[in-house]
Structure 1
Amino acid sequence: MEFPVYIHLGALRIHPHVLFETLSYFIGFRIYLWTRRPSGMPKLVSLQILAGTILGAALGSRLLFWFEDPSATWTQLSQGHLLWGGKTIVGGLLGGLIGVELAKRWAGWNSSTGDDFAYPLIIGMAIGRIGCFLTGLEDRTYGVATTWITGVDFGDGIMRHPTQLYEIVFLLLLAVILYPQYKRSRYLPLSAMNEHCSTMAQPAGDAHSSSSAGNYQSGRLFQWFMTSYLLFRLLIEFIKPTPHLYGGLNNIQLACIAGILYYGWLLSGRGKGGRLIRRSPAASGALK
Structure 2
Amino acid sequence: MDLHEDRGPLHRIERRGPRHQGDARGTWPRRCAGACVPVARATRQAVCRLRRRRVRGPQDRKRAWCMSGLQDLRMPHQGWRLLRDNGQAVIPDLHAHPAVWGVRPVLFTIDGQPVATYSFFVTLGLVVAVLLYRYNTKDRAVGNNGLYIALAAVVGGIVGAKLPMWIVNLPQIIATPLDPAVWLSGRTIVGGIIGGVLAVWLVKRKLGIKQRLGNYLVPSLTAGIFFGRIGCFLAGCCYGTATALPWGVNFGDGVLRNPTQLYEALFVLGLFVYSQLMKDRFAPGELFRFFMITYFSWRFLIEFIRVNPVWMLGLTYYQVVALGVVVAYVIKGMYRKASGSAIGGS
Higher relative contact order (CA 8 A, sep 6+): 1
Structure 1 residues 59 and 226: alpha-carbon distance in aligned structure 2, compared to 1, 3 A threshold: same
Q: Which position in structure 1 is the counterpart of 2:231?
A: 131
Which stretch of the first structure deviates more once superposed, 82-91 or 109-118?
82-91
Give the TM-score, by structure 2 length. Answer: 0.60
Distance in 1, Cα, partners of 2:297 & 2:311: 19
The whole-number CA distance in structure 1 between the counterparts of 2:128 and 2:341 is 27
Q: What aligned pairs does 1:2-13 form with structure 2 within 5 A after superposition?
A: 3-4=103-104, 6-8=106-108
Q: Which amino acid aligns with 1:114?
A: G
Question: Does structure 1 residue 95 correspond to structure 2 residue 195?
Answer: yes
Shift in Å, 1:179: 5.5
Contact 1:52 1:100 in 2 (8 A): yes
- The within-5 A match list for 1:212-251 is 216-251=282-317
Answer yes or no: is 1:260 the counterpart of 2:326. yes
Please say if residues 65 and 91 of structure 1, whose CA atoms lie closer than 8 Å, have aligned partners that are also in contact.
Answer: no
Specify every segment of 5 or more residues in structure 1 that has no aligned partner in the other structure, as ranges: 185-215, 277-288
On the 8 A contact 2:248/2:257 being kept in 1, the answer is yes
Aligned ranges 1:68-87 → 2 under 5 Å: 73=169, 75-76=171-172, 79=175, 81=177, 84=183, 85-87=185-187
Residue 63 of structure 1 corresponds to: 163
1:51 and 1:249 map into 2 onto residues whose CA distance is 34
- Aligned to 2:254, the other structure's residue is in SS state coil
1:153-192 pair list within 5 angstroms? 153-178=250-275, 181-184=278-281
The number of residues matched between the two structures is 237
How has the CA–CA distance of structure 1 residues 21 and 2 changed in structure 2, closer, same or farther, with 3 Å as cutoff? Answer: closer
Partner secondary structure for residue 270 of structure 1: helix
Question: TM-score, normalised to structure 1's length?
Answer: 0.71
Over 3 Å counting, the alpha-carbon distance change for 1:237 and 1:183 in structure 2 is same
Report the residue type matching 2:286 in the other structure.
R
Q: Name the Cα RMSD after superposition.
A: 3.0
1:258 Cα deviation (Å)? Answer: 1.7
Give ranges in structure 2 of 5+ residues lacking alignment: 1-100
Q: Decide whether aligned partners of structure 1 residues 19 and 262 sit closer, same or farther in structure 2, where only a CA change above 3 A counts.
A: same
> 1:114 matched to which residue of 2?
214
Work out the percentage of aligned pairs sharing the same amino acid. 33
Instruction: Give the secondary-structure state (helix, strand or coil) at the position aligned to 1:118.
Output: helix
